[in-house]
Structure 1
Amino acid sequence: MRAPLVGRFGRPDNRSWLGTMRDAVDAFVRNSPSRFAITVFAGLILITTLLLALPIARSGAGTGGTPLYDALFTAVSTICVTGLTVVDMATHWSPFGNAVIFIGMNIGGVGVLTLASILGLVISRRLGLRAKLMAASDSNPSRIHVGPVAERQAVRLGEVGGLLVTVAVSTLAIEAVIMIGMIPSVLARGFDFGTSVWYSAYYSVSAFTNTGFAPNPLGPVAFFDDYWFQSLMILAVFLGSLGFPVIFALARSWRTPRRWGVHVKLTLTTTLILLVAGAITFLILEYNNPKTYGAYGLGKTLYEALFMSTMTRSGGFSTIDMSDLYGSSLLVTDMLMFVGGGSASTAGGIKVTTLAVLFLAAFAEARGAPSMQAFGRRIPRDILRLSVSVVLWGATIVAVSTVTIAQITKAPLDFVLFDVISGFATCGLSTGLTESLPPEGKYVMAATMFMGRVGTVTLAAALAASQRRQLFKRPEERPIVG
């Protein structure tokens, strides 16, 4: 008879295969939490793809399952909370398929970093130091590279547990409030109570997670004259695009703005500036466009311009056809989508804080200042290097995807660029090009959405785990720039 295995403290090791697997995953989380996050995200997409490809997920008897490329695209768009579609979301999916998408939007909205931290906590029953560093990295990416820093941040290392609770509570609370507020508007459109509750829940989740999926055939156009419904959508998208670290900080000290960290102030300031500037720009460029806002009065045009500016933050809802916009408006939308929302938010893009850091660096250089400063605090140059890397990496993804899809489809460049940036920034607005993509184009767009949602910070953190500290410096020489 074989002797039992002996574990620590001389006790027999009677762990089951489940316990062994949990220990293996625990070791993976400790050694490389960011790579674990990417793995979990890819696994969720794979599971969602398989579920959506089942015949039960598609509406209509005897229609068979959804083609793999359509199921994969929808799964990526759902988990990445992008909102781009290649099928009619209101009619293609069965109740089972809609349930999968509804759950997927919530999971994707939590975010890859927080999701990995929660799973690591559940599996290992503790949140180790490296996992805490990973979860805190959205509010301070330099912690992954150079360790804790002195400046105040929206979320400190010891507050990650509170952040995880805030994510769950704030998500459910905000979605519930928005849903309840939407029910009267949906009822007023003639839907029964059950359908109204379902549509309201779907819209609230889709808006707060910045996905942009619509459960009804007409989408937001059905509520074009309902200012209350559209205002709730604006509020949900705005809150979702701020980021959980900002929501966490505001929940703690909303009465004392002086206690807010630089991250919170930069996110709020830059977001409001882009929101107002975008609305004014759309008002100026589209006020005389008969296909968009030209047929409405000043008040309606101003409100719809604000709605449009908010949705470019990554919301993805639209009450007009994007292909009807002037070329200048398409370009402005490209820029707003590329920036996206706040760090650790349900929005995509390079993030508003990245843009703010670049402007602060340019302003400091113009003044000859030795360092960047904002709200009485000095911002280290490591953040500038990370911001430049984020922009270059994002621009590279957009450029490669644009060239590839343009070659595949031979479509106009402005339409291709618009949809590619929308996919990278997980926005969901489309000129109609995405729906007509061939299978190979859908795979390229799905990869673009995945890279945009996983984010350069997560990829940088994954690479940082294997980097070595250089113990020497090479001779310095300055190239000619400009």
Structure 2
Amino acid sequence: MLSQIMPSLSKLKLTNSFNWKRSYSTVKKVFKIIFVGNTRPRQMFNLYFYTLILGTILLMTPWATTKGQWIFLQALFTTGSAFSDTGLTVKSTANDFTFFGQFIILVLIKFGGVGLITVKLAVLSVFQFNRNPSLRERLLMQGERGSNKLGTTIDVLKVGIIVMTITEFLGAIVLFLYFYFVPNSNIAYGTGTSTHIYHEHVWLSLWGGIFHSVSAVNNAGFDIVGKNSLSAFQSDYFVQWIFVTEFVIGGIGFPVFYDLYHWFKSKTHGKKFRFSLFTKITATTYILVAVFGVGGVMFIEYFSRDFDTDSGMKPIFKDLSTSDALMAAFFNTMSTRNAGFYTVDLNKFHVASQIIQSLMMWIGSSPASTAGGIRTTTLAIIILTIFSIARGKNNVSAFKRKIPDDTVRMSFVIAFLGGFLVFLSVMIIAIENIFMNQNSSITFVQILYDVSSAFGTTGLSLFDNSKLGIVSQLSLILLMFVGQLGVSTTVLAWSDRKRKPTISRLEENVLIG
């Protein structure tokens, strides 16, 4: 950034006849470089970064917390977790935040789920009815939540927002009615030292329904029913299926909604419709990862039911009834797709199950969704590339369509950088923990689990993150930020707008593998 600012500052020549117009132009250019950015990825990065700072300031105000004061790092961690739709916390959302604080968290969750560019244009359209998005704005929306076709970006966002809003609205109504009419002494809303039961309390039931529905659809994982997430609903399959439905819809991706809408529209008119390659790949990969992940966890948990976990807790198939254990394995493993809700202590799972869940969080869900991680399409392209090389093919194809070479290369870059960032954060937490000795009992797998949760913007945790050191918490905040913004956008944010001329070099082979 300094290399871009300095040439601009050098143009400011102090002469006897001071040129105000040139000075203003130079200051404007410097301001744009710092606060806006010259490239689309840099503009996205800056916008997300300054939103993170603004949210932190709001959560540090006396009205946001029950004690009227907040530490900067805790506010930054909570803001980063909420805006990235993660769900990792260092304080209880129900007990340590006032209604104002919870409202700020919910707004950050919503903005992070829909996308800041979309929110900005929606607000501007209210005051400028005939305003059409510029090419620059369309390109930004395409990189945030749109499709690979620039012309359909606006329509994709409209359909996606409508689907998410309807899902949130219906989910909020169902949860409101459930909280209000169904008695459950374990479900309480906590504020400071006082707690109130949801049952037959209109305001609390309504706020609980809205908060949890928005949090679920946007895959945030924040809840206001206590310190143990949805453990109160451990045997309540109805509520669990409501949450599963909502966070699966939130993790599918806006372009998939757009394709499904046009498929239904074509069917009603008796026309043929061809799903996009994105929809085919992302839907297939999402289902396969879910099936293999849930199936693997259930297999491990069932056959290891006679052995206690490393934490000394009873396995879920030994501690719960068979039906509750099956539902627990299904719900909590599906939650690793970016939801962040849990119904049992996650330390009850076998270490092998925790590794599978960590891998699922690292993969994440679909691009152009509320999910994080390397994304399902990245995994699919990497696997397809490996199979293509093994079969001696020069091109990578799927569903009778060739995948561009640039996309293939970027997929491997994203996977490598995603793995490197996770490994680096694991080492930072492990090393700092040795010196602090506040989490002396945590294992390597537990650290890997929480780090993968941060990168995948999931929010599941195996230990108390508030006891981590400053550097460790900052590394998790960075991972949540990158997971939400996307590895590719984060990398390209630091690239130069002007491409240097390509120089063709002599080719020489190198032995590999």
Q: Above 0.5 in TM-score?
A: yes
1:186–1:196 Cα contact (<8 Å) kept:
yes
Equivalent residue letter for 2:362: F
Alpha-carbon separation, structure 2, partners of 1:89 and 1:139: 28
Alpha-carbon separation, structure 2, partners of 1:95 and 1:139: 30
2:37–2:46 Cα contact (<8 Å) kept:
no
Q: Determine whether 1:428 maps to 2:459.
A: yes
Identity of aligned residues (%): 29
Q: After superposition, where does 1:44-443 map in structure 2 within 5 Å? A: 44-59=51-66, 63-111=67-115, 114=118, 125-137=131-143, 156-187=149-180, 188=182, 189=184, 190-217=199-226, 218-254=228-264, 258-287=273-302, 288=305, 290-410=314-434, 411-443=442-474
- 1:121 CA drift (Å): 7.8
- Which residues of structure 2 form unaligned runs of 5+? 1-23, 185-198, 309-313, 435-441
Alpha-carbon separation, structure 2, partners of 1:133 and 1:54: 35
1:32–1:462 Cα contact (<8 Å) kept:
yes
SS in 1 for 2:209: helix
SS in 1 for 2:230: helix
Per-residue CA deviations over 1:387-430 (Å, capped at 9, x if unaligned) read 01101111121121111111111342111111111111111000
Q: Which moved more, 1:280-289 or 1:299-308?
A: 299-308
Equivalent residue letter for 2:114: V
SS in 2 for 1:317: coil
1:207–1:237 Cα contact (<8 Å) kept:
yes
Q: How many aligned positions are there?
A: 446
Task: Report the CA distance shift for 1:324/1:298 in structure 2 as closer, same or farther (over 3 A).
Answer: closer
1:322–1:431 Cα contact (<8 Å) kept:
yes
Per-residue CA deviations over 1:204-259 (Å, capped at 9, x if unaligned) read 11111111011111431111222111101001110111111211221222466951
Equivalent residue letter for 1:442: Q
Alpha-carbon separation, structure 2, partners of 1:113 and 1:463: 20
Alpha-carbon separation, structure 2, partners of 1:359 and 1:139: 24
2:41–2:490 Cα contact (<8 Å) kept:
yes
**Normalising by the residue count of structure 1, what TM-score does the alignment of the two structures yield?**
0.86
- 1:74 CA drift (Å): 0.4
1:416–1:433 Cα contact (<8 Å) kept:
no
Q: Determine whether 1:466 maps to 2:497.
A: yes
Task: Report the CA distance shift for 1:40/1:27 in structure 2 as closer, same or farther (over 3 A).
Answer: closer
SS in 1 for 2:402: strand
Task: Report the CA distance shift for 1:388/1:321 in structure 2 as closer, same or farther (over 3 A).
Answer: same
Equivalent residue letter for 1:368: G
Task: Report the CA distance shift for 1:113/1:375 in structure 2 as closer, same or farther (over 3 A).
Answer: farther
Equivalent residue letter for 1:475: L
Q: Which moved more, 1:297-306 or 1:275-284?
A: 297-306
1:208–1:239 Cα contact (<8 Å) kept:
yes
1:111–1:344 Cα contact (<8 Å) kept:
no
Q: Determine whether 1:38 maps to 2:45.
A: yes
- 1:78 CA drift (Å): 0.7
Per-residue CA deviations over 1:178-222 (Å, capped at 9, x if unaligned) read 111222332213252221111111111111111101111143111
Displaced runs of 4+ in structure 1, greater than 6 A? 24-30, 119-124
Alpha-carbon separation, structure 2, partners of 1:380 and 1:472: 22
2:35–2:46 Cα contact (<8 Å) kept:
no
Alpha-carbon separation, structure 2, partners of 1:92 and 1:28: 33
Alpha-carbon separation, structure 1, partners of 2:217 and 2:167: 8
Alpha-carbon separation, structure 2, partners of 1:245 and 1:155: 9
Per-residue CA deviations over 1:132-164 (Å, capped at 9, x if unaligned) read 233324689xxxxxxxxxxxxx55211112123
CA RMSD of aligned residues (A): 2.8
1:237–1:310 Cα contact (<8 Å) kept:
no
SS in 1 for 2:329: helix
**Normalising by the residue count of structure 2, what TM-score does the alignment of the two structures yield?**
0.81
Per-residue CA deviations over 1:164-187 (Å, capped at 9, x if unaligned) read 323432222110011112223322
- 1:478 CA drift (Å): 1.7
1:37–1:116 Cα contact (<8 Å) kept:
no
- Which residues of structure 1 form unaligned runs of 5+? 1-16, 141-153
